[in-house]
């Protein structure tokens, strides 16, 4: 972005006179004082810490102005331009809405219980073959991340591919109305956040909020294999497209082949019977993500050759079913950013199919926000764990104890390793002592378990 401070002040209804500072030009916005670039606007947010406390750090890292909460006005710096607002987060959202309207790109908004980040990456890769595209960084998909993504657009942006997350009713409503999508996508309905919603039906209701901001001529793309979405889509007047494994969908695969050595998948699709698509991922669920992205690309009239090219060249966000190599030479399938029962079973079944000279070892941590059925849902993961396919299982977290107990009926006792959350260092030490270069390891848990520390240890 690029705006003078006076224009920003007007967009956010700043309460103070900027004087000579009005003509200062801001070229970026950030809420983390450590990640500011030169000529940045600092947004001091309140969370575990109050961002106003980091104004000195922001200035050192390149900030040339800052938003500032009105109730902190007495502590505002006098030698540095600030915009006094009621709430810096609300002001950042107002600024994002203003910038979005000014640039006026087409907007693709993506949500879902699983696969939204991968679908975002695939969609952006496909559209980038013919448009100037900006996509959500990592998984910056909440009330802070979405405005940040919008404000990261350059003036020449033609398409914004934005990921929208949720953990409560009303959240997607707000985010959808902010970005006003031209295309709204729901990848799937799972059990993520069921602690807050109670049932999959209510999760589906909340996911459908992505359509609340959908433009009148916008299109709705969703998983046509999911009855909860099919029934709710009947209440949406917008044009609709479906994807999925079943032939009743607008887009479905006619053949799927997994290359367990290259960790890739090739598939054909009904709409382009003579084309072979390749993605650098495995699993039918990732084919579904690709189908969602292809459906969006079709709406944008991307040429067939570029559809093949865009999927083949997709850069997947870190720690989403990412194959890596450990320090001993072992293959590691890292999927440590998030987890729900459906996704964990899918990844384990995929992992079990990959060839290994040695053993398949699973390292699994608690899946959070599953509510009163958390133990039962963790225990259900046993469906995807077969001793002659995945020989060793390391489990960490209080709910994973339910899975450990369930596995005692099918696994030798010595193959099940359980640790409380505080036992991560012991897990790491025993895993490092156990693993060999010929083994393969999968890491999967909710981000709150921080299995990335196990990944770091394996690679060090």
User: Cα dist. 215→81, 109, 218 in Å?
Assistant: 37, 12, 5
Q: Mean pLDDT highest for which of 345-359, 364-378, 399-413?
A: 399-413
- The mean pLDDT value for 262-278 works out to 95
Q: Are 328 and 456 in contact (CB under 8 A)?
A: no
Any known ligand binding at 116?
A: yes
pLDDT band with cut points at 50, 70 and 90 for residue 191 = confident
Any known ligand binding at 115?
A: yes
Q: Give the orientation angle of helix 171-179 with respect to helix 88-103, to 10 degrees.
A: 40
Residue 52 has pLDDT above 90, yes or no: yes
Strands 239-243 and 264-269: unpaired
Residue 319 has pLDDT above 70, yes or no: no
Any known ligand binding at 380?
A: no
Residue-level pLDDT at 324:
92
Residues in the chain: 460
Q: What percent of the chain has pLDDT over 70?
A: 100
Residue-level pLDDT at 445:
94
Q: Are 377 and 397 in contact (CB under 8 A)?
A: no
Q: Give the orientation angle of helix 284-299 with respect to helix 341-353, to 10 degrees.
A: 110
Spatial neighbors of 81 by CB under 8 A, at least 6 apart, are 5, 18, 21, 24, 64, 65, 66
Residue-level pLDDT at 242:
98
Residue-level pLDDT at 399:
97
* Closest by Cα among 457, 399, 447 to 424: 457
Torsion region of 198: left, alpha or beta (phi above 0 gives left; psi -120 to 50 gives alpha): left
Residue 259 has pLDDT above 70, yes or no: yes
Any known ligand binding at 118?
A: yes
Residue 196 has pLDDT above 90, yes or no: no
SS in 3 state form for 366-382?
CCCCCHHHHHHHHHHHH
Residue-level pLDDT at 360:
98
Handedness of CA 328, 333, 335, 341 (dihedral sign): negative
- Which two tokens mark 456? 């770091």
Any known ligand binding at 157?
A: no
* Closest by Cα among 320, 257, 301 to 122: 320
Q: How large is the greatest C-alpha to C-alpha distance in the chain, in angstroms? A: 75
pLDDT band with cut points at 50, 70 and 90 for residue 375 = very high
As a whole number, the mean pLDDT across the chain is 95
Q: Measure the CA–CA gap between 297 and 301, rounded to whole angstroms.
A: 6
Element (H, E) at 332: strand 331-335
- The mean pLDDT value for 230-234 works out to 97
Q: Are 19 and 5 in contact (CB under 8 A)?
A: no
Residue-level pLDDT at 114:
87
Any known ligand binding at 117?
A: yes
Any known ligand binding at 326?
A: no
Element (H, E) at 40: strand 40-42
pLDDT band with cut points at 50, 70 and 90 for residue 300 = very high
Torsion region of 380: left, alpha or beta (phi above 0 gives left; psi -120 to 50 gives alpha): alpha
* Closest by Cα among 354, 426, 436, 347 to 394: 426
Q: What secondary structure does DSSP assign to 73-94, as a single string?
A: GGGS-SSS-EEEES-HHHHHHH
* Closest by Cα among 25, 28, 14 to 83: 14
- The mean pLDDT value for 167-193 works out to 93
> What domains are there in the chain, each with its CATH number?
3-86 (3.40.1390.10), 105-312 (3.40.1190.10), 322-459 (3.90.190.20)
Residue-level pLDDT at 179:
98
pLDDT band with cut points at 50, 70 and 90 for residue 167 = confident
């Amino acid at each position: 972005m690029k705006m003078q401070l006076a224009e920003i002040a007007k967009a956010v209804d700043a309460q103070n006179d900027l004087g000579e500072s009005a003509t200062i030009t801001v070229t970026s916005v950030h809420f983390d004082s450590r990640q500011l670039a030169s000529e940045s606007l600092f947004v001091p947010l309140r969370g575990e810490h109050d961002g106003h406390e980091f104004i000195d750090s922001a200035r050192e890292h390149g900030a040339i102005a800052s938003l500032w909460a009105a109730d902190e006005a007495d502590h505002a710096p006098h030698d540095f331009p600030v915009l006094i607002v009621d709430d810096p987060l609300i002001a950042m959202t107002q600024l994002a809405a203003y910038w979005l309207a000014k640039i006026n790109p087409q907007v693709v908004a993506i949500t879902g219980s699983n696969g939204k980040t991968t679908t975002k990456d695939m969609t952006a890769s496909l559209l980038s073959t013919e448009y100037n595209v900006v996509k959500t960084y990592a998984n910056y998909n909440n009330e802070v991340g979405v405005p940040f993504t919008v404000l990261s657009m350059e003036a020449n942006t033609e398409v914004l591919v934005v990921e929208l997350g949720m953990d409560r009713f009303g959240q997607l409503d707000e985010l959808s109305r902010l970005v006003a999508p031209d295309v709204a996508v729901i990848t799937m309905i799972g059990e993520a956040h069921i602690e807050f919603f109670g049932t999959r039906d209510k999760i589906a209701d909340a996911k459908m909020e992505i359509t609340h901001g959908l433009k009148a001529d916008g299109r709705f793309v969703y998983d046509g294999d999911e009855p909860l979405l099919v029934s709710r889509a009947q209440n949406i007047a917008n044009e609709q497209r479906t994807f999925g494994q079943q032939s009743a969908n607008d887009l479905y695969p006619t053949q799927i082949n997994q290359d367990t050595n290259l960790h890739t998948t090739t598939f054909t699709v009904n709409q382009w019977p003579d084309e072979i698509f390749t993605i650098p991922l495995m699993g039918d669920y990732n084919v579904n993500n690709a189908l969602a992205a292809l459906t969006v690309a079709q709406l944008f009239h991307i040429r067939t050759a570029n559809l093949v090219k865009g999927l083949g060249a997709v850069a997947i966000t870190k720690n989403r079913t990412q194959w890596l190599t450990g320090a001993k030479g072992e293959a590691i399938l890292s999927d440590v950013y998030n987890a729900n029962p459906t996704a964990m079973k899918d990844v384990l079944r995929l992992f079990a199919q990959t060839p290994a000279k040695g053993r398949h070892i699973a390292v699994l941590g608690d899946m959070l926000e599953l509510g009163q059925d958390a133990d039962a849902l963790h225990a259900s993961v046993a469906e995807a764990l077969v001793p002659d396919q995945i020989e060793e299982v390391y489990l960490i977290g209080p709910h994973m104890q339910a899975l450990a107990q369930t596995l005692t009926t099918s696994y030798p006792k010595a193959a099940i390793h359980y640790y409380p959350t505080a036992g991560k260092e012991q897990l790491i030490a025993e895993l490092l002592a156990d693993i060999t270069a010929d083994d393969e390891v999968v890491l999967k848990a909710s981000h709150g378990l921080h299995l990335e520390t196990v990944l770091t240890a394996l690679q060090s």
